[in-house]
Amino acid sequence: MNEARQNPRIRYDEGCLAAHALNIVGDRWALLVVRELMLAPKRFQAIRHGLPGVTAAVLTQRLLQLAGAGVVAYDAGHYSLTPSGQGLLPVLQAMCRWGALHPGHDPRRFISPSALVISMTAMIGPAEGHRALAGMRMGDEDFTLQLTGDGVLRPQAGADPAADFVLSGSGNSLARAVYGPVPLADLARDGAVGLAGDAQAAQDFVDLFRLR
């Protein structure tokens, strides 16, 4: 393991620090594997569920590479991020903001629960003074998102019974609720999303997010 950490697979034979970073996490799927583990440890099949385009063989290879680089750890059947892996959150957030500036994004394509929540931490607008404890349920994944008045959205895995409201649905349907123009009440009435709790607090919360 130590030798693997000292000698990541060389893709770019340069002394540039950005190139060095890409030698570690620049392979296809690598950063998306990190994305899926950013909010909670997961088993292999749960990671794969969030990456429907990856094969089992490729995912296994990426996990081994990331573990060898000290980005991912494995214990008792679960994969998790090391502190080094957690340090990639600002990279993912910056990529969300950068990607939103460029045309061609198709929100009809698959959006995993982790992908949506991480994008929300990046795409929240001015939110100083706003407070909310939001619940989001996407299949068998629950998240609590806390906004405490400093404008920073802090997510964590798991449900909190004290949440002001809970939105439920798929990653794609909740992305539509968070970023789209249709009021939550209309989406809930049509069955596109589930909404429990304070409906006005939920609407005020999603109104804080913009893709551009």
51, 81: one domain: yes
Domain limits at 153?
Answer: 108-206
What is the Cα–Cα distance from 155 to 40, expressed in whole angstroms? Answer: 10
Cβ 166 vs Cβ 136: under 8 Å:
yes
Residue 184's Cα: distance from chain center in Å?
22
Residue 59: CATH number of its domain:
1.10.10.10
pLDDT of residue 130: 95
Residue 148: CATH number of its domain:
3.30.1050.10
**Residue at 202 is within a domain:** yes
Q: What is the pTM of this model?
A: 0.93
Domain count, the chain: 2
% of residues, the chain, pLDDT over 70: 96
End residue of a domain, out of 87, 118, 147: 87
End residue of a domain, out of 87, 120, 149: 87
In this predicted structure, the answer to whether residue 3 has a pLDDT above a threshold of 60 is no
Instruction: With CA atoms as reference, report the closest residue to 171 among 100, 95, 115, 93.
Output: 115
pLDDT in tens, 39-59: 999 999 999 999 999 999 999
Instruction: With CA atoms as reference, report the closest residue to 121 among 158, 93, 94, 91.
Output: 93
